[in-house]
A and B are shown apart, each in its own frame.
Chain A
């Protein structure tokens, strides 16, 4: 994105001179408070919104004027609210809608739909109306619909919000598998524990501007200035002056355990 400005009709600027570059195969988190412009930015990458000024380029090509369907071949977007994405009468129809729009052959549409239902444990709900499913299951339907389209770039808006721990783990495992297969992952989230454990790099937004782009560890180090709250173990590691600071519970236990052992040795030698 190059110098993108955007405002909704008659409103204030929601994106202000936003310039970012996302590399192929990255695992990137887009973070910031409610209303900071994260979702608006993501919708530009899909061609759902167009900048008032500036450009959005995918693989060097300006996407302005390109049909949304064409962009959707490359960029998959999982909405924050699955109900904004789901509209078919059955789960099977919903998941096959994307591949059908890609004008694939019938056999390929069936293959992709079945594979996506299997990957997300949705076969049992195949003929059910998605609206009757629980929120977490509707989220899985939304993810499976994008999975069936097999885009190169995945943008996920709060994909773990409202999910239980097991489903959250399954979602993050999926995103890692996709990333390892070369897909680009852009994760919009408030969950700093997920950011710390999974994202390699972060873009921080505030009031429509990009205020920081850096490796996750560097972003956590600037938490105070950026007004973000790092995970509990990072804050504890700061409080105990552990080095390196911990991104995960395992890292914290290792470093704190070393400190504990050192203190014991000192105490033994003193006595």
Chain B
């Protein structure tokens, strides 16, 4: 299931253009991260992927977004519910049930699934997000991070082909982030899940992304692999964006010793730095 964004420009009602001529193709099973300074258009782009932008938001739109060949402007948002699952930046806006379990089951009830399958999917999603022990609690009693995990579980239980996450690291602890993204990586390889993630946390992005799209004032300015993108620290800083700590280390050692390192992920950094010591 491919997502094709073609010459997309969008402005909120009475607002300036939030997206400008964005063109991008995301293949099935790809993990694409979207980086950009605050206000660069990341969330708007996420919401355009199932038609919330512009169908619920109004405003002006040019260009197209198609999911599996279907234009998101031409079909109701609900049409895409089973294909594109979106977890909002502020998950509280999507939680409303009395218990954690009921929240995860809500979307499945609307699909009219058999009871056994529904229970299996609820259990699987609660387990995956490590909130199984909270299933009888009210969402209002959960911490910020637990609520975020609940929102992700509710969306994943629907088995979307494309998962869109808007800044998952803002509320999750490091263990929760790594576990979530490792689980998504598995789903990507076993079920062909496509993941599109708007995020600032460069180390998380470096670890899991196939490609990174960088937005600047609504324009797509870079579309690169983590290795290429994070080797240009000055370019990233000029856009107001960070890089993994190991990329800073590489830049510093390259400056001092001219060793030509390009480091983006911890494990690779460990190997390369060990090899450099052994070579001396």
Q: B113 an interface residue at 8 Å Cβ cutoff?
A: no
Q: Mark B200-225 against chain A: 1 for CB-CB distance below 8 A, else 0.
A: 10110000000000000000000000
| Pairwise interchain contact B245-A253, C-beta atoms closer than 8 A | no
Q: Chain A residues near B175 (CB, 8 Å)?
A: 33, 227, 229
Spell out A's residues near B (CB within 8 Å).
Answer: 8, 11, 32-35, 39, 80-81, 83, 132, 134-137, 158, 161-168, 190, 192-193, 227-229, 231-233, 235-236, 239-240, 249-250, 252-253, 256-257, 259-260, 263-264, 266-267
28 A-B contacts (beta carbon < 8 Å): A34-B146, A34-B171, A34-B173, A35-B142, A35-B145, A80-B171, A81-B92, A135-B90, A135-B167, A158-B144, A162-B89, A162-B170, A162-B200, A165-B200, A167-B240, A192-B174, A232-B203, A232-B245, A233-B245, A233-B246, A236-B266, A236-B269, A240-B274, A252-B249, A253-B253, A257-B253, A257-B256, A266-B280
Residues facing A in B14-39 (CB within 8 A) are: 15, 36-39
Closest to B144 in A: A80
| Pairwise interchain contact A190-B38, C-beta atoms closer than 8 A | no
Please judge, given known A-B contacts A81-B90, A161-B169, whether A253 and B249 are in contact too, CB under 8 Å: yes
- Give the shortest distance, in Å, between A70 (CB) and chain B (any CB): 27
| Pairwise interchain contact B242-A168, C-beta atoms closer than 8 A | yes
Scoring B36, B89, B277 by chain A CB atoms within 10 A of each residue's CB, the highest score goes to B277
- Give the shortest distance, in Å, between B254 (CB) and chain A (any CB): 10
Q: Chain A residues near B200 (CB, 8 Å)?
A: 162-165, 168
| Pairwise interchain contact B280-A260, C-beta atoms closer than 8 A | yes
Spell out B's residues near A (CB within 8 Å).
Answer: 15, 36-39, 43, 89-90, 92, 137, 141-146, 149, 167, 169-176, 200, 202-203, 236-237, 240-242, 244-246, 248-249, 252-253, 256-257, 266, 269-270, 273-274, 276-277, 280
Partner of A263, one of B39, B244, B280: B280
A116 vs B204: C-alpha distance in the bound complex, in angstroms? Answer: 33
| Pairwise interchain contact B143-A34, C-beta atoms closer than 8 A | yes
A252 vs B202: C-alpha distance in the bound complex, in angstroms? Answer: 19
A132 vs B252: C-alpha distance in the bound complex, in angstroms? Answer: 40
A168 vs B89: C-alpha distance in the bound complex, in angstroms? Answer: 18
Q: Chain A residues near B237 (CB, 8 Å)?
A: 165-166
Which secondary structure dominates where chain A touches chain B? helix
| Pairwise interchain contact B169-A134, C-beta atoms closer than 8 A | no
For the complex with contacts A193-B245, A260-B257, A260-B277, 12 further pairs of A-B residues with Cβ separation under 8 Å are A32-B173, A39-B143, A80-B171, A134-B39, A162-B170, A165-B202, A165-B242, A229-B174, A239-B274, A250-B252, A256-B273, A263-B277
A249 vs B173: C-alpha distance in the bound complex, in angstroms? Answer: 22
Q: Chain A residues near B240 (CB, 8 Å)?
A: 164-167
- Give the shortest distance, in Å, between B193 (CB) and chain A (any CB): 23
Partner of B144, one of A39, A134, A256: A39
Scoring A166, A228, A263, A266 by chain B CB atoms within 10 A of each residue's CB, the highest score goes to A166
Please judge, given known A-B contacts A34-B176, A233-B249, A260-B257, whether A161 and B170 are in contact too, CB under 8 Å: yes
Q: Chain B residues near A132 (CB, 8 Å)?
A: 15
Scoring A83, A229, A249, A259 by chain B CB atoms within 10 A of each residue's CB, the highest score goes to A249
- Give the shortest distance, in Å, between A131 (CB) and chain B (any CB): 11
Partner of B172, one of A34, A232, A266: A34
Closest to B167 in A: A162
A256 vs B156: C-alpha distance in the bound complex, in angstroms? Answer: 43
Partner of A249, one of B38, B90, B171, B248: B248
Q: Chain B residues near A228 (CB, 8 Å)?
A: 174
- Give the shortest distance, in Å, between B185 (CB) and chain A (any CB): 18
A81 vs B142: C-alpha distance in the bound complex, in angstroms? Answer: 14
